A and B are shown apart, each in its own frame.
Chain A
Amino acid sequence: MQTRLESPAVIALLAAIGLFLCSLANALSRETRDPSQLIYWLGVLLIAVPIFLRLTSSGPSYRERLGLVLLLGLALYGVKIVHDAPLFTLSDEYIHAFNIHQIEKYDHLYHFNPAISTSPYYPGLEGATSALTMLTGASTYLCGTILVGAARLVQMAALFFLFARLSGSARGAGIGVAVYTGTSNFLFWGAQFSYESLSLPLVCVVLMAFVEREEAPPRLRGAWAVPIVLGILAITITHHLSSYALAIIFVALAVLYRVMRVEKPNPWPFAVLAVGSAAAWLLIAAESTTGYLFPVLENALEAIYETAFGDTEARQLFGSPSDTAEAVAGTPIGARAIALLAIAVLGVISLVGLRQVWRRERRNPLAIIFCAFTVAFFAALMLRFAPAAWETGNRAGGYFFIGLSFVAIYGTAQLLRRGPRLMRRRLLLTGALAVVLVGGAISGWSWDLQLARPLKASADGKDIFSEPLALAEFASQRLDGSRFAGPEADARILLHPGGQVAFGGQGPDIEDIVDEPQLRDWQLPLLERNHLPFLVADRRLLSEDTLRGQYFSVKDQYGNELRPKGVVHKFSEIPVGRVWQGGRIVLFNLRDRP
């Protein structure tokens, strides 16, 4: 009976049922029925727990374990898809989808993006997706989802091969990959259509190829250099932070090989290539990256200093990452407890694992680096207390977690030794892995956003749109190629699917123009200087929230708090033309006047 329940077909069926439960919970939420999140979490657990349990067994073959981790990656990616389909809804997705729109429009890369000006200079993801959109004629959403899905499968397989080669255990490799799914960005943020969703899997491939090369006979070392070199180059043009992370890893490896006098070829050529290509790309093509990244890192460092010395109040954990003023549902106590328990579980596993890795693998430089990553992961958790540094810590966690997952293989190995009560110990480990997965998902994504919100709805068999989406559809059909200023949520959806050049946020300072109820002297000249004739005035308090501001407002739930009437009236009183009016949103044309 137990064997049957653990057969791959049954596990696949349970994963499919789990995915359906997730989809059902999201559907109920889109129907604005405010369903219990228990359905959703039950679905996530139904996907993961049978796979975790099977991975802890000594029964499966190498190929079966690989199949299980691929199923795990695919099904958990499905959780993100059933949350969003058939439209991009995560804040960075609009930006990268707009880049594809620009590539299709101009047939070339590097065209301007008003939201993140550096993003067109890292066109790996968009260039790759454009191949699919152009060859198939299919939507950006479908092609982007397929491409990120392929990258996700590659990542799962690469981690499995990497861990299997390093630890010498397929069982351990499967558990290591299972632990990796507990990284806080795995379920949503890391699965979005964004450059890191391609670059991070490629980093895993390069690391895996490097380890295979180290173990390969000399005649095959050249062959394994091919994916390493191509990977380094592809990552360089895909994502800045990933290319820097990879460069740091290779430099550290080259130094450790030298210091530890490893009797294998020093990987300095790869370090030179990784550092050289990242630096060259930064200097030649992507100069704006410094202006984009350095302020973020500077703010993070400042926040750490100020929080540490009490100049700034520490950030409240499980608070909304958004700066919206509208109150959102807080994370329940039980969920917070699971998230904290997950950290505790990882802490215990890491402590045991670090000791074991040090005893058994301390002659392996990559294992040393992974140990350092494990320590760095827990150090990065401290950044979550600093208001401007939590995102930096959260993003870095995705890389550090690779090392932690490797160390966890050794930390969990003790539990799976042959002996009495093995089944109990397997169940205990399965439970711990489930806690890590769910805890990571809770700490990585706001509680109120775990379930989908309505962006499109049906009424009498026809589709109706939320107000920002209706504006974007109008702009797409009637104002092609225009330039807009607006609150950030509206600006993002005007980028895609609107296909317009839409500015929001603070560079230039559109945020104050659209959020303040009074018209200041500097505001119209700034709009004129930046050639922004179309202005979106939005009374919804959520309009600056790029994760929540694009949906329907729902009675007694969200989207109901408003800014003062002045945010709209100040433009009416100039006076200027009003092009489009929905409920709370008005589109003005500043060049249409008496």
Chain B
Amino acid sequence: MTPCASACAAALTRLPGMGPARLLAMIRDRDPRDVWDDVVHGRISKKVFAQPNLLGDSPACSDRSWASAASRFDPEAWWSKARSRGVDVSWIGRDGYPAVLADDPHPPGVIFWRGSLASLDRPRVAIVGTRSASPDGRAVAYEMGRDLASAGVCVVSGLALGIDGSAHRGALSALGEAARDPASVAATIGVAASGVDVPYPRRHAALWEEVAASGAVISETPPGYAAQAWRFPARNRIIAGLSQLVVVVESHEAGGSLITAEAAIERGIEVRVVPGPVGSSACAGSNQLLYDGAGPVRGPRDVLDALGMLMPDPPKPGQAKGRRRSRRSPDGTRISLGPTEQAVLASVGWVPSSLNKVAERSALPVAQVAGALDGLSARGLVADDRGWWTRLR
């Protein structure tokens, strides 16, 4: 007896040596049950194995090795277990498959998710960046995630440490704040490189649950499978494919988010970049994108503007437009600084610097510098991350 179509589609993804290109060649315009039947009986066309891999060499495999793997495996039992963990599946050409991906040049043949894909109907923006981000970069990603989500934009990201995690957390916080009108806020979508039930990095396990509970965690990796290295760049193409606009917040030279940006450019999707300090190596890659011609964004408003969603806001007289640079505390009161604090603030700079550097630049006694930094961070002008100080405003 042939198992159900969903189980067959899911089972195809976990054949040895299966990758996005082979899967797509097999399953496009066909019923997964017929494909599975072909696998079991070793009737796979040579063309499938000759598929050029998206990302380099494919591991060797043959219809015989697949047939033997398939004969030792019960798709129905495995899939019902995954289903019980809340995993959904769809494949190209079938109901529930994200429409945006169907037109992609390299769509995932089969896609898994936990949660609801409803927010994909909204405007979608990817916020991506480095894992080792500066506190400033994380703050920008958080605020952007929060403000875009409250404006009804679905924030797509990769669930990684650093920028990705901050963007998701920002979007989730918008849901929490909008208790009165939750429908106006868009849920966030995380695209994973591992199976949707295998949180990676482990530290983000709670974040995965939250994202899956309000929005969705998506992956083309079969449930229960950890991510191999090649899954990450493959995942990045899905992030790009799902989005109307990709915002790079901070990226190292040759960072993974540049792959996302490249995939977006290939697909004709606009890439925007948050400018960073020129001396910061965390911004080397993102600044290179700017130099290469990507447009800058200064904050969520610019992103909404690029999406054509910005409601004209009567500017308040005397208020600077760049909100982050104004020397006002979060509650809007003007901050007055003493001469020591001013000197220390000037010595902190926008790139993370050690206490040693701040003391060196300001040429003030260490006791005064430490005291001033304490006061400045209490007022939200500087932040410290494991002993590294960065100016926030």
- Chain B associates with chain A: no
B binding-site residues for A, Cβ under 8 Å: none
